[in-house]
Amino acid sequence: MQVFLKGPLPDNARNLMRRLGYGEHVGHGGQTSFSRRLSGSDFPRFHAYVEDKDSGIQINLHLDQKQSGLGSGAAHGGEYEGPLVTQEINRLSRMIQSFVAVPKAIDEEDGKKGFWGKIFG
């Protein structure tokens, strides 16, 4: 499943994915991707390819149920649609938007200075 999240974003794609609980790894052909385990074992896991694009982030996400057997001619065991993939895409979107919407500090809203502001003016 693919989703594009418009910017401005608080950070680049790599750092955002790491903040969202994804680990970075280099796969076949040197392509960087990110994965997040659903349990204590290696599989199942969410697997995402991301890129910074047009001041936003493009995410291509799927669910790996088992280790790929691409070297032995077997088909890839990824699910690109379904309720778990949709739920994870929604979680990623909400979390990234929450990183963007940082509330003002109380002191800024009231025009008051904090401890160091009072000292150094």
80 Cβ neighbours under 8 A, 6+ residues apart:
1, 62
**In the predicted structure, residue 46 carries a pLDDT above the cut 90:** yes
The tokens describing 94, both together, are 């909400």
Name which of 55, 49, 48 is nearest 9 in CA terms.
55
CA–CA distance, 113 with 6 (Å, rounded to integer):
34
Q: Which amino acid is at 105?
A: A
Enter the pTM of the model: 0.73
Answer with the residue of higher pLDDT: 21 or 116: 21
Is the Cβ–Cβ distance between 39 and 46 less than 8 Å? no
pLDDT at 83: 95
The tokens describing 11, both together, are 């950070």
Site of tokens 């929450």? 98
Q: Which amino acid is at 44?
A: P
% of the chain with per-residue pLDDT over 90? 43
